[in-house]
Structure 1
Amino acid sequence: MAKARAIDILRIFHRFPDQAACIAHLEGIRWGERPRCPHCGGIRVARKADSGRVGRWNCHECRSSFNVLSGTLFEKTRIPLQKWFLAVGLIVHARKNLSSYRLARSLILNQKTAWFMEQRIRAEMANKQSKIRLQGIFEGDETFK
């Protein structure tokens, strides 16, 4: 199991080597080919010319500035997206509950920061799972009360 987890972490590092790759991946998932303003829903948007901030967009309809992280669990974070992606991978692939202390050691973070990340990730997972409606016949093995 540890070997499989190490391979998953290596895949994350190879697939997302920097912040720009993470942002490009999130833009593809969230918007596809056509970005939309999260404030007004407008499609008349253009990339911001500011080279210091990767992934910023300007909306020509409501004149707001936004990025792909707006309205997500990554909004207003200063933690690199690679660490967020690794945290999601570690939490999802953990056999049992992953403590914030272990996550902090794994990602070289402060324990409070790791706890904050875990809370955001778990809240988002709970939010997404509550919207999933199962249909048809499904079976579960080894269920306990």
Structure 2
Amino acid sequence: MFETHEECLACLEKIRWNGTPICPYCGSTKATKYKIEHRYRCNGCFTSYSVTVGTLFHKTHLDLRKWFRAILLLCKLDREISIRKLAQEIQVNRATASLIVDRVQNAPLDQVEILREIVHILETLD
């Protein structure tokens, strides 16, 4: 597993953008990276964005390490995991675990590929 939230963000950037940030609002590849945060400012439409915009992780405020662990548990296990057990495993409350399960189960097709890549990367790290 990844040690920090920032390592997870870097992994997600590699999966989604392969080194070149793409503005989720206008599609521009011209962006300036913020020095303090793991965010970008688009030089085309002048909006601020991160790699999580337009993904399952957008607006959750949950550490990506917990998301990645939950995805691994939900996608890799042959049997189903209960929301209560998932909440215990990733140390969140049941409402948060339920939100994660709902987002993963109802992920659009473009997000399913991201989930598969995350699972593949996490399996190679273990």
SS at match of 2:106: helix
**Structure 1: 5+ residue runs without aligned partners?**
1-11, 133-145
Amino acid at match of 1:72: T
Q: Shift in Å at residue 128 of structure 1?
A: 2.4
Please state how far the C-alpha of 1:95 moved relative to its aligned partner: 2.5
Distance in 1 of aligned mates of 2:89 and 2:19:
35
Q: 1:48 matched to which residue of 2?
A: 34
Count of aligned residue pairs for this structure pair = 112
Percent of matched pairs sharing the same residue: 33
Question: 1:60 maps to what in 2?
Answer: 43
Q: Which has the higher contact order (CA 8 A, sep 6+)?
A: 2
Mapped pair 1:107 → 2:90: yes
Out of 54, 65, 71, the residue aligned to residue 54 of structure 2 is 71
- Whether 2:124 is the aligned partner of 1:128: answer no
> After TM superposition, what 4+ stretches of structure 1 lie above 2 angstroms from structure 2?
none
Specify the SS of the correspondent of 1:17.
coil
- 2:123 aligns with none
Q: TM-score, normalised by structure 1?
A: 0.72
CA RMSD of aligned residues (A): 1.8
**Which residue number in structure 1 is paired with residue 13 of structure 2?**
27
| Secondary structure of the structure 2 residue equivalent to 1:88 | helix
Counterpart of 2:99 in structure 1 is: 116
Equivalent position of 2:66 in the other structure: 83
